[in-house]
Structure 1
């Protein structure tokens, strides 16, 4: 019999795709939704909550649940306007996560799958190196710090209660419905805007939404996943130039990329105080997923080209 699943963040980018996969696999699913959110799926039991923090009551919703998949979070915010961003992240990502996990353990939940972030490892890797799941964490911003603190609290709770904890740290997730900078790049490419990214020789790991969801579902019942931390990517690292070329091909558009050296872009970004953007465009961030693959017998089922094609198709249809 399939496990009974409790899923948070069911209307989010990752949570929504996870919900669809769970329904397709005929799991019994209870979806936690923020008040006012809608999931048009009659096969799912729905629970509405005002907020996800240290005071949320989950007891009634967790009765009979075997596995919690916690994807709800206060996500990384560009130009955060909070007076104390770290406190705001901690309210949701630390207190909210640990409150749910404690109540899950008390309700007899077997496993808690936590969607964390590669930002726990840090903001970038040196040429020829890659993050591993067992590296010493080095988060550099409030979001990454909050995710690390949640991970630490979950491991302590696992030791105290026997709750099996699985931590998944995705890199940048893309796929149908992706927004923010990834969607902006597709807009620029479709419009034929010349972009100064034709000579960037970095290496970045990405993960297609389908690949991330496949790993999440794999971790529901896999015995080797218990109390482990996994990094996840497509297994194919790309430079920013290569990504834009592949994206343009998926959109059936020419990639008008100007061969501006990276050092020029980085210098300009410093003058404009946009260092974080230049780091993402010009810096490297590679992950080693060999532990994930070997321990779970898993491999990314979708290639980068397939995932970009699906992303581009959705982008065009949704316009």
Structure 2
């Protein structure tokens, strides 16, 4: 099997490359930062896996145009190149945020897209272009929408929560009751590899998430147990928290702003039923808790 992968130097790319070792897969690293990438792409391969993109940035001084130039326009150029080749499969790594910033109930694939952020809008517009194109016979398009991916080497909100517990600080947001889906990079690697191997899998949009959702309070307890500390959960009234964070949003160096508060405390449950049924699997290799413990242990070991 030969794969062309963009964004190979990133967190997901490096983890997937490690997963492929020993599986007889030839990988071409295609850097879209290279202005001459179109002349360097191999036209003979089994699949293109398009990981490269501009990630969601919660900072205020973000160039909005970059989201569309990178997430939409580059994707379109790469997909047009795919259509003119003999490559069988095209994987586009989109995001659940391409269709929903807020989830009521459980997010499934056929929800009407209503992204609110430039990040989500750029991903959604790329999806719409890809889905509007006619695929030649025998070719497949997979739009994968992962929820929050985590694993060893990854920073972000999990690392923020880890530091709170590590320092022995109380978690002041316990009053927020929620359920969130996560995606271990180990489970992600497994799913993408199985999708590549299953010839009968049909083109389409697939959500990717772990099997179980958990609350942020439960996550704090998992981190505490992993660090052999007692979980400290404080139930401060949510109105006071939101008022304090609104003020904090105006200060760039404040670790918790309104956007991060939303990411940590909102409910966001994503269904992985469609992809599991399509692949004929009942459960993923790692439970949500096992995957999170692996990530937390990596923070602990890399101090």
Asked if TM exceeds 0.5, the reply is: yes
**Partner of 1:223: helix, strand, or coil?**
coil
Q: Give the match for residue 248 of structure 1.
A: 224
Cα displacement (A) at 1:67: 0.4
| Correspondent of 2:129 among 144, 150, 153 | 153
| Correspondent of 1:21 among 1, 19, 22 | 19
Q: Give the match for residue 209 of structure 2.
A: 233
Q: Give the match for residue 293 of structure 2.
A: 309
Q: Give the match for residue 62 of structure 1.
A: 42
Which runs of structure 2 are paired with 1:183-194 in the superposition (5 Å)?
183-194=159-170
**Partner of 2:58: helix, strand, or coil?**
coil
Partners in 1 of 2:115 and 2:226 — Cα distance?
34
Which runs of structure 2 are paired with 1:128-277 in the superposition (5 Å)?
129-157=105-133, 159-162=134-137, 163-273=139-249, 274-277=257-260
Partners in 1 of 2:265 and 2:164 — Cα distance?
18
Unaligned runs of 5+ in 1: 34-48
Q: Could you tell which deviates more after superposition, 24-33 or 9-18?
A: 24-33
Partners in 1 of 2:194 and 2:158 — Cα distance?
27
Q: Give the match for residue 44 of structure 1.
A: none
Deviations 1:286-314 (A, max 9, x none): 11221121122133211122212211222
- 8 A contact 2:51–2:92 mirrored in 1: yes
**Partner of 1:225: helix, strand, or coil?**
coil
Unaligned runs of 5+ in 2: 250-256
- 8 A contact 2:58–2:259 mirrored in 1: no
Partners in 2 of 1:269 and 1:16 — Cα distance?
35
| Correspondent of 1:291 among 274, 296, 299 | 274
Partners in 1 of 2:125 and 2:36 — Cα distance?
19
Q: Give the match for residue 125 of structure 1.
A: 103
- 8 A contact 2:141–2:203 mirrored in 1: yes
Cα displacement (A) at 1:132: 0.4
CA RMSD of aligned residues (A): 1.9
Partners in 2 of 1:60 and 1:79 — Cα distance?
34
Deviations 1:78-113 (A, max 9, x none): 21424x50x211111111111111112212111001
Cα displacement (A) at 1:271: 4.5
- 8 A contact 2:157–2:264 mirrored in 1: no
Cα displacement (A) at 1:140: 0.9
Cα displacement (A) at 1:261: 3.5
| Correspondent of 2:261 among 278, 283, 294 | 278
Q: Tell me the matched-pair count.
A: 294
Partners in 1 of 2:60 and 2:30 — Cα distance?
26
Q: Aligned pair in 2 of structure 1 residues 160, 312: CA closer, same or farther (>3 Å)?
A: closer
